[in-house]
Amino acid sequence: HSGLSLLDPVRDVIAPVPSPWITAVRIDGVPQPVSELGAFSVPAMELESGRDRAEIELLAGSVVSGRGLRYQYRLEGVDPGWSSATASRSVLYAHLPAGRFRFMVRALAPDEEARSRGVAEMWLVVHPPLWRRPWFLGLAALVLAGGATVLYRYRVAHLVALERMRTSIATD
């Protein structure tokens, strides 16, 4: 049989990289409420100073070419840029400074040529220690100002009483 063959060397269509989900969050080892199926956006988590260890678990919905996806993450305000690609599906942040931070994660194809269009995100709010909170500082300033005022008035009253006694002695 004779025939004609045609080879079209057009690159195969690459399946899109799925967007990652945040599947679990633990603050100091205590699980926080996150959808059992995972979520692209998780409500803000609040951390107290001293209880500032956050562990976040990630997952993307499929496997590309039979191999696992890789992840990049970033905590705005802490990380200078995206992390290097990793196959690890959990991220740990410990000893975070006080502030409000946005955590973002994206998935990468195993060859790192393609990445997910969507980014999973959540906010971490780390409260400062009690003695660094604005209301506490304001209260401390009021107490100090009140104490200084009381001491000043006491000193003035004492000097006035002393002057009256001197005047009384001088008139006698």
pLDDT tens, residue by residue, 62-87:
544 445 788 899 999 888 899 888 88
Through-space distance between the first and last CA atoms of the chain, rounded to whole angstroms: 145
Report the alpha-carbon distance of residue 89 to residue 85 in Å, rounded.
Answer: 11
DSSP-assigned beta bridge partners for residue 21: 59
Q: Band the pLDDT of 160: cuts 50, 70, 90.
A: very high
pLDDT tens, residue by residue, 78-132:
888 998 888 888 899 888 888 899 999 998 887 777 777 888 899 988 888 888 7
